[in-house]
Amino acid sequence: MAGRRKKRREILTYIALSIGIVIVLAPVFYMVMVALTPHDLLFDRIIPERVTFKNLLEVFSNDNIMLPYRNSFIISSLTALITLFLASLAAYGLSRFKFKMSGMFIVMILFTQIIPMEILVLSYFPFLKTAGLMDTWVALVLVDTTLTLPFCILILKTIFDGIPKEIEDAAKVDGCSSFKTFTRVTLPLSWGGMLAAGIFAFLMAWQEFVYGLTFTASLEARPITVALNLLIGHYVVSWEELMATSFLTALPLLVVFAIFQGVFVRGMIAGGVKG
Rounded to an integer, the average pLDDT of 69-84 is 94
- Segment (H or E) for 238: none
**Burial (CB count within 10 angstroms: exposed 0-12, middle 13-18, buried 19+), residue 199:** buried
Facing residues of 237 across strands? 232
Say yes or no to pLDDT of 156 above 70: yes
Q: How much is the pLDDT for 274?
A: 46
Q: How much is the pLDDT for 70?
A: 92
If we measure between CA atoms, which residue out of 265, 141, 261, 268 comes closest to residue 205? Answer: 141
pTM of the model: 0.82
Question: 116 — phi, psi (to 5°)?
Answer: -60, 140
| 246, 256 contact by CB (below 8 A) | no
Q: pLDDT tens for residues 111-124?
A: 777 888 888 888 88
Q: pLDDT tens for residues 186-201?
A: 888 888 888 888 888 9
Q: How much is the pLDDT for 261?
A: 66
| 159, 271 contact by CB (below 8 A) | yes
Half-sphere exposure of 62 (CA within 13 A, CB side): 19
| 190, 156 contact by CB (below 8 A) | yes
If we measure between CA atoms, which residue out of 143, 31, 134 comes closest to residue 79? Answer: 143
Q: pLDDT tens for residues 121-136?
A: 888 888 998 988 999 9
Say yes or no to pLDDT of 77 above 80: yes
Q: How much is the pLDDT for 273?
A: 45
CA 22 to chain centre: 23
Q: What's the rounded Cα separation, in Å, for the pair 270 and 275?
A: 8
| 158, 273 contact by CB (below 8 A) | yes
- Average pLDDT over the chain reads 83
pLDDT class of 242 with cuts at 50, 70, 90: confident
Which carries the bigger pLDDT value, residue 220 or residue 264?
Answer: 220
Q: What's the rounded Cα separation, in Å, for the pair 187 and 108?
A: 25
What domains, with CATH codes, occur in the chain?
A: 1-52 (no CATH), 63-272 (1.10.3720.10)
Q: What's the rounded Cα separation, in Å, for the pair 226 and 143?
A: 16
* Nearest-5° Cα angle at 84, 83 to 86: 65
Q: What's the rounded Cα separation, in Å, for the pair 171 and 177?
A: 8
Rounded to an integer, the average pLDDT of 172-185 is 80
Say yes or no to pLDDT of 205 above 90: yes
| 233, 144 contact by CB (below 8 A) | no
| 74, 141 contact by CB (below 8 A) | no
Q: What's the rounded Cα separation, in Å, for the pair 141 and 131?
A: 14
Say yes or no to pLDDT of 275 above 50: no
Sequence-separated (6 or more) residues with CB below 8 Å from residue 105 = 94
Say yes or no to pLDDT of 109 above 90: no
Most confident stretch, 99-103, 177-181, 212-216, 253-257 = 212-216
Say yes or no to pLDDT of 266 above 80: no
